[in-house]
Amino acid sequence: MEITSNSTISTAVEGLKKATAQLEGAAQNIAEGSTNPEDIVSLSLAATSFKANAAVIRTENENTEALLNITA
């Protein structure tokens, strides 16, 4: 299976969407007065996931730029 830039970025974007949904769910629970520690953990996991997926996109862009500079 060949991994391309588009599939890498698409996967990272899906990860960003999932992290956003997780964050929104936990934030809603907390706003409604939930004191469940799982909501706090969920916020932290969502933030970490968002950062990781953003880093994948940033790295993919840097790699693509480097390859374009090599072939130019």
Instruction: Report, as an integer, the average pLDDT of 9-35.
Output: 96
CA nearest neighbour of 63 among 15, 8, 18, 19: 8
Asked whether residue 2 carries a pLDDT value surpassing 60, the answer given is: no
Asked whether residue 3 carries a pLDDT value surpassing 60, the answer given is: no
pTM for this entry: 0.81
- 7 token code pair: 């599939």
Alpha helices in the chain (DSSP H): 5-31, 37-71
- What tens digit of pLDDT does each residue of 50-67 get? 999 999 999 999 998 998
